[in-house]
Structure 1
Amino acid sequence: METIHAADEVRLSWDTGAERIKDGAVLVGRDGVGGIGTLAELRAKFPRARVRRWPGVLGPARVHEGPLPQAPSARERIHEVLKTGAVVVLAEHVGTAELRAAAERNDVVVLARTRVPAIVPSGRADLAVFDADGACVATVCAGRLVHRRR
């Protein structure tokens, strides 16, 4: 099922000069980005899609560049990363088989070096929503909602 993730503002990247879409939305189908625009535009094009509205700013999920947060298990350490709005971790910080397996099971990308995250048409649907204080409201990893703040 397709889902439209909508927010007060959508940013295609976190660069200061990046495009911003007021009352923006991103269409997610399976694990990819199927459309980007205003909520009204995407609802008109995809009337059967489920709509999830989020308070704040929706943009690309982030890269977690430091050591993973401490938690009792590898799965919980990966989930702590997802709760920050990140879906990418650096290989140097997932040195055990358990951490690599937990990352793989959760579709978290493991990279040798950092990259600049961006939302691109037909790209993998890795999204995060942040409130006015910078706290993560929701994280979408490969099209799946993996965290939402209650």
Structure 2
Amino acid sequence: MLTLHTADLLVPGGAADEAVPLPGGAVLVEGDRIARVGPYEDLAGRYPHARVRRWPGLLVPGLLVHGAAELLERTYYPDDPYEVTELGAEPITGEAALGDLKMTEARWGHSARRGTQKLLARGVVAVTGGLTVPSVRTAVTRSGLTVLPAPSGGGRRPVSLDPFAGLAVPGEAYYGRLEAGAPARFAAFAVPTEAALLAEGATTCVATVIGGRLLHRRR
């Protein structure tokens, strides 16, 4: 099935001279790939039978965060609502605090599933760094997130659930580019501009698509 995703402003990503925003832009998805990118009216006219998903604000490439192990194997995400009264709602880190939780591999796997949902809810489509806990690797694989090698050398961004932490421009967090033939991997944010996206943050995400599948939608 063909699906047409459109928003008020499409930001294709890529090099600065290529990343010209397209008002009323859209991506046509066929299977797990992007088939076309262009003005919504043009694509809707050419593909009248495509299912249409309209999103407010920006349509951009999905986001990348660093430190998969730190975020998913050394951070515990309490189970809401069952553990929040006892543990609170915030992620738990630190050797002593995690030791008190008496973590098991199964518990790490459950936590990682909740962690990946938090990442998807922020428009994240890829993470960097190796994972060693089998249940965590399984959770990440099933989530659809791409796992990339840890970056070498300097310039590594801070480890955070926030893909924009430490960045001067949001484009530094984009993974890939919205263009024909590319993987259908992108996110929509309910903000009017990239400047607003950086200011208001990734929790403005309203939709995350990976492999052509809608894996997060803010209700």
Question: What is the TM-score normalised by the length of structure 2?
Answer: 0.63
**Aligned equivalents of 1:13 and 1:59: distance in 2?**
7
Equivalent position of 1:140 in the other structure:
209
State the AA in 1 paired with 2:123: G
Identity score, percent: 36
**Aligned equivalents of 2:23 and 2:132: distance in 1?**
41
Of 188, 193, 197, the residue aligned with 1:129 is: 188
| 1:102 equivalenced with 2:103 (yes/no) | no
- Between Structure 1 and Structure 2, the one with more helix by share is 2
Q: Deviations over 1:14-69 (max 9, x none)?
A: 76651211001001111110110011011112111000000000010000224436
Residues 76 and 14 of structure 1, relative CA distance in 2, 3 Å threshold: farther
Residues 102 and 59 of structure 1, relative CA distance in 2, 3 Å threshold: same
**Aligned equivalents of 1:16 and 1:120: distance in 2?**
15
State the AA in 2 paired with 1:88: A
Q: Is the 8 A contact 2:189 2:205 kept in 1?
A: yes
Q: Which has the larger radius of gyration?
A: 2
| 1:40 equivalenced with 2:77 (yes/no) | no
Question: What is the TM-score normalised by the length of structure 1?
Answer: 0.89
Q: Is the 8 A contact 2:9 2:59 kept in 1?
A: yes
Of 113, 118, 122, the residue aligned with 1:84 is: 122
- Between Structure 1 and Structure 2, the one with more strand by share is 1
| 1:23 equivalenced with 2:24 (yes/no) | yes
Aligned residues: 149
Moved more, 77-86 or 61-70: 61-70
Q: Structure 2 unaligned runs (5+)?
A: 80-109, 152-173, 192-199
Q: List aligned pairs for 1:110-129, cutoff 5 A.
A: 110-113=147-150, 116-129=175-188
Moved over 2 A (4+): 14-17, 66-72, 113-117
* SS state at 2:71 partner: coil
Equivalent position of 1:58 in the other structure:
59
